[in-house]
Amino acid sequence: MNRLLLGIALLVLMPAVAWGQKTCAPVTAGVSQNCVVTITVNFSAVLTPNTVFPDSVQIRRADAGGAKTVIATIPYTNLVTQNAFTDAGNVSHCYDAVGIKAGAQPSAPSSEACWTTPALSPVNVTQPGGLTLSAISSSAIRITWDDTPDETAYEVWGRTAKGNQKFTLVASLPADSTTYDWTGRKNYTSYCAEVRGKIGQSIGPFSIYGCATTSK
């Protein structure tokens, strides 16, 4: 009976979450930002003869509609906590709280408090320069270019030189890449390629394309 009464009391004393401060500061332009949220828990229930307060409160968070996970457990004597995380921008983060009492069922979750972090500003990505193509075998073309500042990835696009074919994506490469061996080509065939850099979701302009012919 005591456990049942405690469980009912915790349901009556369902916590609520409220915002304090919400801030985000860019880490890398156009890529990520560090965010801090101050969370305050309060109770608005009316006390009854069977009411008990929780020993602690679990703070739960879900990102972009995903499942909630416990990110902090705070004592009832200090119902304020901070949550720090890295965000890609324009993502919804939803919090709720659950009261915990020894020997009783947890309370029902509070209503959600959601916040969408600010979108990251687009950035200008430098056009790669110094593109050169050279045949290294009868089936491979080496593509080289100058590294651009602050890029987080590169894309290599290519096509055969003959006809009016469009460039298609050949490879996605990590930051600071300056060479790519395009293998699996036909012998004595001309190929063209171009390269562009990326910073996060921002895509830069293509380099001037170049061409080379595999050996016989």
Per-residue pLDDT reduced to its tens digit, 3-35: 333 444 444 377 888 888 899 998 877 788 999
Q: Taking Cα atoms as reference points, which of 84, 88, 86 lies closest to residue 59? A: 84
Task: Could you please state the CATH topology (level 3) that the domain comprising 132-213 is classified under.
Answer: Immunoglobulin-like (2.60.40)
Task: Give the pLDDT mean for 137-166.
Answer: 93
Q: Sheet harboring 32-43: ordered strands across? A: 15-28, 32-43, 80-87
Task: Give the pLDDT mean for 148-158.
Answer: 93
Considering the chain, what is the average pLDDT of its residues?
A: 88
Most confident region among 49-53, 97-101, 149-153, 155-159 by mean pLDDT? 155-159
Strand partners, 56: 75, 100
* pLDDT confidence of residue 45: 64
Quick one: pLDDT band at residue 211, thresholds 50, 70, 90?
Answer: very high
2: pLDDT strictly greater than 70: no
The rounded distance, in Å, linking the Cα atoms of 57 and 79 is 8
Fold agreement (2-116, 132-213):
yes
* pLDDT confidence of residue 16: 87
* pLDDT confidence of residue 19: 80
The rounded distance, in Å, linking the Cα atoms of 16 and 39 is 10
Instruction: Name the 3-class secondary structure at 137.
Output: coil
Strand partners, 32: 28
Backbone torsions φ then ψ of 105, nearest 5 degrees: -70, 145
Structure confidence by residue, pLDDT tens digits, 45-73: 666 666 778 899 999 999 988 899 999 99
Q: Taking Cα atoms as reference points, which of 75, 18, 25 lies closest to residue 41? A: 18
Structure confidence by residue, pLDDT tens digits, 101-146: 888 888 889 999 999 999 988 888 999 999 999 999 999 999 999 9
pTM: 0.62
Please say whether the beta carbons of 79 and 59 come within 8 A. Answer: no
Range list of H helices, the chain: 2-12
Boundaries of every domain in the chain: 2-116, 132-213
Q: Taking Cα atoms as reference points, which of 133, 131, 145 lies closest to residue 191? A: 133
Instruction: Name the 3-class secondary structure at 9.
Output: helix
Task: Give the pLDDT mean for 160-181.
Answer: 94
Residues 6+ apart with CB under 8 A from 59: 17, 39, 41, 70, 71, 72, 73, 74, 81, 83, 95, 96, 97
* pLDDT confidence of residue 47: 65
For 2-116, CATH gives: 2.60.40.10
**Side chain identity, residue 141:** I
The rounded distance, in Å, linking the Cα atoms of 208 and 132 is 10
Task: Give the pLDDT mean for 181-208.
Answer: 94
